[in-house]
Structures are given as structure tokens and as C-alpha cells.
Amino acid sequence: MSQKRKPFSEESKEAEAKLLLSLAEQAASSIQRVRIANRMQDERTISHLGTMASILCHEAIRVMSPIRVGIAKIEREIGGSYPLASEQLRSISESLDGLDRVIEPLRQAMSGKSLSRENYPAIALLEHLKRAQRPENIELIVIQLIDDNLSIHADPTIFTAFENIYNNAVEVLCDRGGGITLSARTSEGGVLFQISDDGPGMHSMSPEEVWEFGKGTKKSPGFGLFITKYVVLQNKGRVSAENNMDRGASFFIWLPLAQQETEG
């Protein structure tokens, strides 16, 4: 005949509660130490990138200046006699303008100036990518599910964040061809942007790893998506990624609406 288990005494219950509380505190402390270590690693990485960015900005400006002078000289000499050449020169000038948009915010940040934020129509980010260059074998589809009057509140580097994802998609598709889909819809008091491609997808790493420094989705130094994540977080947004059901991958950027951001 089995004996009945004696109920815990009040002292035993109190000792067990203290033990569980101690274990919980140790677990919370360990999690906090891991978070601090990760944040310190990110800060060291950002500091290193800042030094690299300073050098790159200086060199880019030095190289861009004579290119602009050369373009202006060629345009004066050919006039309108060679439409194809003029079109190519405009394309080069637009690329230089794109570099300017990247360099100027970096110069301000490195000089200690805080980047000013302003309201941008949410569709302006889609329109910006629609104007970006891509090979003829890549089809671009834009799905706009938001009102034209919706705005996000961000600094100018947010355009660079979108360009990094878009350029990655173009690079993985440039040889084989394919499609890129841009979409935007309202979600959780903000705007959720989605950039999808039908390329090979992310199979060598998890969707969380692609945002880490030194990773990325292609054979490159792997800091484009890292910078994108940093820029989006600085503008109080968030990023995520996933493999598509059929093929390719999708990258998401969520940004708060301008009114919500300014009120918060």
C-alpha cells in the first residue's frame, strides 16, 4: 500500500519560492549581460564603419568632382547631336546625384550634426525606387495599397536604406533576369514596405542573420543590409525578412506614420 505524500511545510514552500526567484534573477541577469555585450559589439562596429565612411566620403568627393566637370564639358561639345550619348551622360549624372544623397548625411553625422528629419510622402519611397536603374531583363511591379497623403517622418538616409535592399535584388537577378515587386500598406499605425524578388532566396543563412555585419545575401563585404537595419532603427522603424513560398525572398521595412512619430 503506497504511502501518501506529505504536504510541503510553509518553510519548504518559502525555500522553494526563494530558489525559483533566485534562478529567475540569474536568468534575467544573464540575458541582460548578453544584450549589453551585443549592443557594445554593434557600437564598436558602427564606430569602425564611421571611420571607414569618413575615408570613403573624402575619396568619393575627390573622384566625383572631375567626373562632373568632364560630363559638363562633353555635353557642351556634343550638344544635341548624339541623343544616345546625352542619355548616358544624364544617367551618369543621376548616379552621381545618388552618391551625393548618401555622402551629405554621412558628412553631417561625422561632423557631429544631428540629421534633420522631415515628413516624406510614403509613396515617395516607392517612386524613388521606380526611378532607379535596372537591367531590361528585370521586371518591376509596384503595388500601392496606401493613400497618397500618408507620410513618414525620417531623415534623408532612409532613402539609402531602401536603395540597399533594392540594389541587392537587382544584383541577384541581373544575370538570370526575373521580377522585383514593391508594395506598401498600412500596418500597426505605420506603413509596411515590402521589397520582394524571385531570385534564389536566403538558404545559406537565416532571415535574421542577413542583417548582421559581414553577412548579407550575396558575395560582398555584407554591410549594406546592416546599414539598412541601423538606419531604420534610428528612424524608429523595424526590419524583417523571409523566404517566399515559391522562390526568392522578401524584405520588410516598417516605419511609423509622421503624425504618430511627432506625437510620440
Phi, psi of 208 (to 5 degrees): -80, -35
Q: What type of residue sits at position 102?
A: V
Q: Is the CB of residue 195 less than 8 Å from the CB of residue 251?
A: yes
Q: Which of 192, 173, 141, 185 is nearest to 248 (CA)?
A: 173
Give the pLDDT of the chain (264 residues) as one tens digit per residue. Answer: 555 555 556 666 666 666 667 767 766 666 666 666 666 555 565 555 666 666 666 667 677 777 878 888 888 888 778 888 888 888 788 777 777 766 766 666 555 566 788 899 999 999 988 888 788 899 999 988 888 889 999 988 899 899 889 988 998 898 888 999 999 999 988 999 999 999 888 877 888 888 887 666 555 556 778 888 888 998 999 999 999 888 889 999 999 998 755 555
Specify the pLDDT at position 247. 84
**Angle separating helix axes 83-110 and 157-173, nearest 10 degrees:** 130
Q: Enumerate residues 6+ apart whose C-beta is below 8 A from 77.
A: none
